Structure 1
Amino acid sequence: MKADLFLGCDVKKYIGVGVGIASLITENLLSHPFVVLRRQCQIQNNSTRYHLFPVTLLPVIVQLHRRQGVTTLWKGLGSVLMVRGMTLAVEDLITKFTPWPNTTLAIITPFYSASLVETVQSDIASEKPGIFDVFKDGVCRLVNWGSSQKGRMLPVWALVVPTVFHGLFKYLFSLVVRGVTSRILHLNQRHKQERQGALPRDLRDQVSSQEIELTATLVGLFSADVAFYPLETILHRLHLQGTRTITDNLDSGYEVTPILTSYEGVWECYYTTLTQEGAAGLYKGFGALVLQFAAHVAVIKFTRLVLTEVSALVQSKPSLSSPPIVTPTTSAPPPHLSQKTYLPY
């Protein structure tokens, strides 16, 4: 009985590892189409449909796929992954040789701007970017640190401070929410264990901790995205200003529209958005964020269901060896035991 319990906990442990890998892949790869939708909505200051709810995005997605193909929502994926890899590499390098690990976001800012352009520009009105265009454009903006290359484009130094502020405080906020959520879930789990009686603390607690940490991570990510969504909208508009980007018009999904803005900085962008679009203008494309996390949760639940069913099939597979046959002996059984109840072991 105890062996079966530990075997079940061991299987659940590997199921938790598989679900964690699926969550990581979803976060960095499968969620990209929703990121593209969200960014395209955020930068369109003249749009009349704000797409605050997922249901309004569905007909637009259908039209985009019908006119531009399935790959339209996967544009810029390569540059996004390159920037993430560059972020990890630069952070590791800076941490080893300097005491300023927080300068990573400042160095990556121009490359993030170049990657943002590739994720929002329309496929039917723009040239396909090359593999290393994100590095070329990022280096050009990095070299011109104190001045802009084009008329309305903001210099990199004007984007570094809000970008670092957004990235740093969003990360800290996510950590705090994750820690609080994890603590609450662990306390709830402990109360359940106390009501049910003593349980093995090594394997079973490890399995429960995997599930709790995964849930806490999702809650932390979603809470941080919601809390810093208005600032993200402002940053994306500032990063894109002066790049002559033409994006898909998400009011209908049929047309394209140029991005023409002339903000002087964060505060002017904030007040202009409030004046012209209202407070809801800071949350344009929020429905895409809801879709992203709904899809994330669905992938996790589906992966857990599949792995659980597969493990159940493997565990319930009948043994090929038949049980040993006990042959009756010539000597009579002891008088206090009958022939029916006597066992050779």
Structure 2
Amino acid sequence: MHRSSSFPYNVDENFYNNPDLIRRLPVHDDYLPQPEAYLDYSNYGIPEEVTYKRYIGSGVSFISLIAENLLSHPFVVLRRQCQVHQNAQKYHLQPFTLMPVVWRLYQHQGVTTLWKGIGSVLLVRGMSLGVDDLISKVTPWPKEISWHSSLKQFFQHTLLKCVSLAIVTPFYSASFVETVQSDIASEKPGILDVFREGFMRMLHWGSSSNGRMLPIWALIVPTITLGLAKYMFSSIVRSISLRILTNKYIAHFEENGALPKDPYNSPAMQEIQLTASLIGTISSDILFYPFETVIHRIHLQGTRTIIDNLDTGKSVLPILTNFSGALDCYDSSIANEGVSGLYKGFGALLLQYTAHIAVLKMSHWFLTQVGNLVQSPKAKPVAQPPVKISPPAISNFSTSRSYLLP
């Protein structure tokens, strides 16, 4: 819109760049604009508020990462020990039955008994990420895909995950043993023992050094199948949840007529992405829990591992099984323990995600309170006084509504 340089009254330049605001102005022959039509938001502090919300979202995401890899480890140890004890009398399907057992473990072995194997678990997770990255660099296979990826990229990405899982399987097996063996009945492993044991498992590809220990090729196929199924299902649930939550978020603002300038890059989207990711992870862990029990039992077979007896929390016991493979393990477990036997230790999983969600809620509340304390107070919008325009100064302009339209 062109206006004369001799236009006399002082109006912010943003006023002319907002057609919606101009259309809502009441037309008056003497005063333009009216006080209720133009408010000065220059000191309102909206960018600062958005910045603090971004910091809060990043902080909660970081705490969620810590909770997933560190704080959840004691619950992982408990559920794995329950899963591999095929002769257990207590299934611990509810979280409450685990409380007295954990207390007895703490009394007899100390708090470190719930943190065994944490170093090897983190090393194997880091190794898995590193293998994914290495394969994606030496091959044309993409490390990540989206709904817009081609079918060829999808199969290449699936192949990348399969190769990565196959390489990591021997080391995952060694790490798993460290998380379930009893501290009072076994020697504490060294930091790098997981790599030594993993390479030993790889050397016995076709046969094992122990008669009952399954060869690594018999472990790779079911491990890849479970890992790939959990990954795909979690990704699908996460994408669906993200789309549903995003649509609700956009619809909420559209109803109020205050849609953000970039809604897909707003601080609220950080929370939505975190929530969708957590929903996908929880869903896959619950759905594939029985199959995880089977995989863990065949990984432990023949390793001569002694675990804590979670029926009492006061004794230890050896694990002696003789499965020929994953299918035989599944059939034997159903025949001897029933379907509920595949859900042993499910209460630990419920405790794990209950604690995870509680930590996220408390951290979000705490960071919000800290942000409110350090954030500078907002200045209220100040109404600009009307400026009267003298007739000579607007001799070249029309005061009709058509002039205000772009």
Q: Considering the TM-score relative to the shorter chain, is it more than 0.5?
A: yes
Deviation at 1:241, TM superposition (A): 0.1
Choose which of 49, 56, 81 in structure 1 pairs with 2:97.
Answer: 56
Tell me, yes or no, if the aligned pair for 1:23 and 1:296 is still in contact at 8 Å: yes
Task: Tell me what 1:314 maps to.
Answer: 374
Deviation at 1:69, TM superposition (A): 0.4
Task: Tell me what 1:328 maps to.
Answer: none
Give secondary structure in 1 for the equivalent of 2:64: helix
Deviation at 1:306, TM superposition (A): 1.1
Choose which of 105, 112, 125 in structure 2 pairs with 1:71.
Answer: 112
Tell me, yes or no, if the aligned pair for 1:9 and 1:203 is still in contact at 8 Å: no
Equivalent position amino acid for 1:58 in 2: M
Equivalent position amino acid for 1:237 in 2: R
Choose which of 42, 52, 63 in structure 2 pairs with 1:11.
Answer: 52
Tell me, yes or no, if the aligned pair for 1:6 and 1:203 is still in contact at 8 Å: no
Whether 1:29 aligns to 2:70 is yes
Instruction: Work out the CA distance in 1 between the residues paired with 2:264 and 2:303.
Output: 54
Tell me, yes or no, if the aligned pair for 1:173 and 1:224 is still in contact at 8 Å: yes
Equivalent position amino acid for 1:194 in 2: E
Choose which of 284, 304, 307 in structure 1 pairs with 2:344.
Answer: 284
Equivalent position amino acid for 2:175 in 1: S
Give secondary structure in 1 for the equivalent of 2:251: helix
Tell me, yes or no, if the aligned pair for 2:211 and 2:302 is still in contact at 8 Å: yes
Task: Tell me what 2:85 maps to.
Answer: 44
Tell me, yes or no, if the aligned pair for 2:250 and 2:263 is still in contact at 8 Å: no
Deviation at 1:152, TM superposition (A): 0.3
Equivalent position amino acid for 2:372 in 1: A
Whether 1:185 aligns to 2:245 is yes
Give secondary structure in 1 for the equivalent of 2:189: coil
Deviations 1:186-243 (A, max 9, x none): 1111221122222323378511211111000000000000111111000000000000
Whether 1:133 aligns to 2:133 is no
Deviation at 1:79, TM superposition (A): 0.5
Choose which of 114, 138, 154 in structure 1 pairs with 2:214.
Answer: 154
Deviations 1:78-118 (A, max 9, x none): 00011111112222222222455231111111111100000
Task: Tell me what 2:122 maps to.
Answer: 81
Deviation at 1:6, TM superposition (A): 2.7
How many residues of Structure 1 are paired with residues of Structure 2 in the alignment?
A: 319
Give secondary structure in 2 for the equivalent of 1:254: coil
Give secondary structure in 1 for the equivalent of 2:317: strand
Tell me, yes or no, if the aligned pair for 1:65 and 1:72 is still in contact at 8 Å: yes
Runs of 4+ in 1 over 4 A off after TM superposition: 316-319
Task: Tell me what 2:387 maps to.
Answer: none
* Coordinate RMSD, CA, aligned: 1.7
Structure 1 pair 109/204, CA: closer, same or farther in 2 (3 Å)? closer
Task: Tell me what 1:91 maps to.
Answer: 132
Whether 1:199 aligns to 2:259 is yes
Choose which of 331, 341, 344 in structure 2 pairs with 1:271.
Answer: 331
Instruction: Work out the CA distance in 2 between the residues paired with 1:275 and 1:251.
Output: 21
Structure 1 pair 205/87, CA: closer, same or farther in 2 (3 Å)? closer
Aligned pairs for 1:94-133 within 5 A: 94-98=135-139, 101=160, 102-133=162-193
Tell me, yes or no, if the aligned pair for 2:250 and 2:259 is still in contact at 8 Å: no
Deviations 1:247-276 (A, max 9, x none): 000011011111000011111111111111
Task: Tell me what 1:233 maps to.
Answer: 293
Instruction: Work out the CA distance in 2 between the residues paired with 1:201 and 1:178.
Output: 25
Equivalent position amino acid for 1:225 in 2: D
Gaps of 5+ in 1: 320-345
Larger relative helix fraction:
1
Tell me, yes or no, if the aligned pair for 2:45 and 2:378 is still in contact at 8 Å: no
Equivalent position amino acid for 1:116 in 2: F
Tell me, yes or no, if the aligned pair for 2:60 and 2:364 is still in contact at 8 Å: yes
Structure 1 pair 249/121, CA: closer, same or farther in 2 (3 Å)? same
Structure 1 pair 259/205, CA: closer, same or farther in 2 (3 Å)? same
Deviation at 1:153, TM superposition (A): 0.3
Choose which of 20, 30, 40 in structure 1 pairs with 2:61.
Answer: 20
**What percentage of residue pairs aligned between the two structures are identical?**
58
Deviation at 1:316, TM superposition (A): 5.1
Instruction: Work out the CA distance in 2 between the residues paired with 1:12 and 1:87.
Output: 33
Whether 1:294 aligns to 2:354 is yes
Gaps of 5+ in 2: 1-40, 142-158, 380-406
Equivalent position amino acid for 1:127 in 2: E
Deviates more, 1:300-309 or 1:86-95: 86-95
Equivalent position amino acid for 1:167 in 2: G
Deviation at 1:282, TM superposition (A): 0.7
Give secondary structure in 1 for the equivalent of 2:349: helix
Choose which of 229, 244, 247 in structure 1 pairs with 2:304.
Answer: 244
Q: Highest Rg: 1 or 2?
A: 2
Choose which of 195, 209, 228 in structure 2 pairs with 1:168.
Answer: 228
Deviations 1:290-321 (A, max 9, x none): 111111111111111111111111125799xx
Instruction: Work out the CA distance in 2 between the residues paired with 1:214 and 1:167.
Output: 21
